[in-house]
Amino acid sequence: MEKKACIAMVPCPGHGHLIPLLEFAKLLLLHHGNDFHVTFLIPTLGPPSPSTIAIIDTLPSNIHFTFLPPINIQDLHLQSPNPVPQMILTVRHSLPSLRQSLSSLSSRTKLVALVLDQFSLDALHLAKEFKISSYIAYSSGAATLSFELSFPKFDESVPESEFLDFEQTMDVPGCGYASFKVKDLPDPILFHRSSDVYTTYLSVCQKSLLVDGIIVNTFNDLEPEAIRALQQGKALRTPSPSVYPVGPVVAQPKQKTEVDECVAWLNHQPSKSVLYVCFGSGGTLSQEQINEIAFGLELSGHKFLWVVRVPSEIPNAGYVIGEKEKDPIQYLPPGFVNRTKGQGLVVPSWAPQIEILAHGSTGGFLSHCGWNSTLESIVHGVPMIAWPLFAEQRMNAILLTDELRVAVRPQGDKEDRMVKRDEIAEVVKRIMDHNDEEGLEMRKRIQDLSDAAAVALSENGSSTKALSSLAHELLNKSI
């Protein structure tokens, strides 16, 4: 049996959940590699994608991995296209093989903890079965976590007739900068209470209260009040799990022998002159909205690098297998690519986001406000245009615009919610015009946050101390 303590990590399907967990494992082992090694047990919906395999192949030798037998999507009997039940059910159907893998792991290592994604919590009972500690590696920020831990009480206390009023407000502990309306909260609560989306999400929130600790990808200067509320248990009437803010945990720019097309193009652009436009790994827009963005970018006159995806009326349709087979460029307005050849670069489906945000020519980010993208933009000091689509992204957008004031947000048409070209051009100019006072103030504020993020991760920083506290707790349990 190995002397190092072993931590088993179980992500749920989706790069947005796998990558933060991998980056956390790297960070833990960077600081405490003499004490631990990590094994990933990865539930899969079908065979692993080439991009997933490419990510796994870059892992250091003290991170091991096992792909659990793939689950057939037909066996999940999904009632809706929402990804939450899909992720949860994939893990649930993987429990027999997960138990086998944990049994094998415990027989040959000193297994001390099970670290789960929030949507892998169906595996929580296995921690008790193997007499090990349980943790969530939470993939969003402290504000959303505070909401989710307090949500079960909210669900109990609010009549269904009131809850269906999307204009009703809810005070989230530690988030005094906003009284969130129901329509601003994570997507699953917008479904009817009897739906599988709502009930599975509520179950996730209830199970989150039962773990030993929650590892949050945030840092004190980013969400001080929300972190304080969580650590003092203000989100609950009962004792809450220990909370460890260890962020920002983001991927680092890769050193490549071949220069990517996007980076090569950025190399020839002036400093801070390019607006990067991307809606994450799965965010999608309607055909009409794509047209308006295209005309708005053209009208703004500012340089842009746009990652275009096949249009859809479903905002998270990019997660659907098979969409990538189509060519997104063909859905742009006729003549747009040729007319803007000197102004912008359009790339289909995917781009090296970390390298783009870290590049000196990137001056702004039109973002869906996913938490990974938000942290990456903050780390690299890039102000944002907030354009939330689904999940908890509206909460993130309110944090960025109302509290941190490092982003602007288009309002869109009140009737059809479409953001028209004139407004798009206007917000682009607000954030990209270097003579605009508002834009200059945003740049200063986000650079201050970027500096604070670096301090948090420094040797004596708050996040490094939180990580050390977690490692100490895990080592004590291994004795």
Q: DSSP letter at 35?
A: T
State CA 330 to chain mean position distance.
Answer: 29
Q: 115 phi and psi, to 5 degrees?
A: -105, 120
The H or E element spanning position 228 is: helix 224-231
Query: Residue 85: CB partners within 8 Å, gap ≥ 6?
Result: 76, 78, 79, 196, 197, 200
Catalytic residue of the set 17, 37, 302, 359: 17
> Positive or negative, the Cα torsion across 24, 1, 95, 100?
positive
SS (H, E, C) 245-311: ECCCCCCCCCCCCCCCHHHHHHCCCCCCCEEEEECCCCCCCCHHHHHHHHHHHHHHCCEEEEEECCC
Active site (annotated) includes residue 165: no
Torsion of the alpha carbons at 15, 315, 206 and 234, rounded to the nearest 10? 100
| Beta-strand relationship, 407-408 and 384-386 | parallel
Catalytic residue among 32, 93, 117, 184: 117
| Per-residue CA distances from 397 to 215, 385, 386 (Å) | 22, 9, 6
Q: Which two tokens stand for residue 330?
A: 């063909």
In the chain, count H helices and then E strands.
18, 15
Give dist(CA 38, CA 15) in Å, integer: 19
Asked about 17 being catalytic, the answer comes back as yes
Tokens of 115: 């670290």
Q: Where in the sequence numbering do the catalytic residues fall?
A: 17, 117
